[in-house]
Structure formats: structure tokens, C-alpha cells
Amino acid sequence: MHEFGDFDSWTINGLGADDADIMVINAEHGDLLPDADECAGVVVTGSHVMVTDNLPWSVKVAEWIPSLLEKEVPFLGICYGHQLLAHSLGGKVGFHPEGIEVGTVDINLLPECAADSLFRSLPSTLPVHVIHSQTVIILPKGAVRFAMTPFEPNHAFRVGRCAWGVQFHPEYTVDIMRSYIINEKEDLTREGINIRPVLYSIKETPASSSILRRFNEIVMMRC
């Protein structure tokens, strides 16, 4: 899987931003978190750890997030970042009672998206790439739910004016999604998932990918 890079490089590619304008903070390895006033926009990517592990570096990021919302710094949390956003604001995160959601799935956008600066141009149903065993069980107070599937009721939400969480992976390409599934084959098989039909169903997700470019535009308009 790592022949394609990792969450940071996938996200930077998806944003379509100038690399010189992006700082990668590796909180897991002890990088200091910047003050909110120093941030034009923030993306918290996916991770190979769980929010409920409550690792010290993850707790520090969760404690940092509210300062960004207070300053109305545009924020996008992806998968782990989506869950951490909810957790940091008093929502509940835990293992999904029905297990892992994996592959390319269709999500349904809710009417609340129509007036939102990030979601309003998206179709009402769109394919997205997913792989997660934890979920936002309860959204934080004041959050606006934006997307769902029959399996996952909280696929996207917004809090405040410009902080979004998405359970799916807009940064994944078809190749990344396939490679991730193959890399996790043993664990998925133990969970009772037949990966052959999952791999067969993977398809392009252009509308989902556009979320990252749109988020970059929102950040640039704020600057």
C-alpha cells in the first residue's frame, strides 16, 4: 500500500494546493501543534489508530481542535479526523455495532447540504471510498448531519460555520482503495468479509474527491 504514499500525501494531492503553502504536522511523532491564529485551514487525516485508544498525542489533538473552531479556522476531519472532531466536542465515538464498512459505497446527502459552502454542489447520492470499524455514535451538540447510509447514519456533519467531518475518504483513488483492502485482507477475512466482491465493486469517486478541492478553495477565500 505504501507505494502510493500515506494519508498526508494523498490529502495534499487531493487538495490541489501548492506544497509550499502546506505544513504537515506529525502529532504522533511529537510535532508541536500551531496556534489557531497561525492556521489558514486544517485537515486532520485518517489514521491507523483508534480514537478510543486515547493515545497521548491523539488526546492533545482533540484538546487543540476547539481552539480552531473558536477562531473559525476552516477544518476538515477525515475518517479518524471526523471521529476526533466529534469526540473533541462532546460526541460519542466507538466501534460500529455491525463491524467494518469497507469498499465503495453510495451515501445519501440530506437537504441540509443545499445551503452549505462545502457540500452544496454535490449530487444527492454519490459513491465514496470507506474503510472503518469505529464510528460517530452520537454527534456533538449543535452538529448538522449531512450524509448517511443504511449502515452508517453519520457519514458527514458540520459544526459551527466551517468545520466538517467526513467518515469516508475523499483522498482515496481506486488504486489506493484496492491496495488498502488487499493489505488488510487477513483482518477483513477474520471479520467475515469476502474481499472479492468488495474489490470488484470499487469504482471512481469524482464527486467525493471534489470535496478536498472545494475545501482548499474555502481556505483560500478566507486568506
Q: Could you report the per-residue pLDDT of 191-203, keeping only the tens digit for each?
A: 899 999 999 999 9
Q: Tell me: the pLDDT tens digits for 100-133?
A: 999 999 999 999 999 999 999 999 999 999 999 9
Given 79, 101, 129, 162, the catalytic residue: 79
Look at the chain and report how many structural domains it folds into: 1
> For the CA atoms of 32, 17, 164, 66, what is the dihedral angle to 10 degrees?
20
Query: Which residues form the domain of 18?
Result: 2-222
Please say if 98 is a catalytic residue. no
CA distance 14 to 149: 24
Say if residue 29 is exposed, middle or buried (CB neighbours under 10 Å; 0-12, 13-18, 19+): exposed
CA distances for 142 relative to 47, 85, 138, 159, angstroms: 26, 13, 11, 7
Q: Per the residue annotation, which of 113, 132, 162, 171 is the catalytic one?
A: 171
How does the average pLDDT of the chain come out, rounded? 94
Q: What is the CATH number of the domain that holds 59?
A: 3.40.50.880
- Prediction pTM value: 0.95
- Of all residues in the chain, the percent with pLDDT exceeding 70 is 96
Strand partners, 64: none
Confirm whether 169 is a catalytic residue.
yes
SS3 151: coil
Q: Is the pLDDT of residue 2 over 70?
A: no
pLDDT of 4 strictly over 70: no
Q: Which three cell numbers stand for residue 42?
A: 486544517
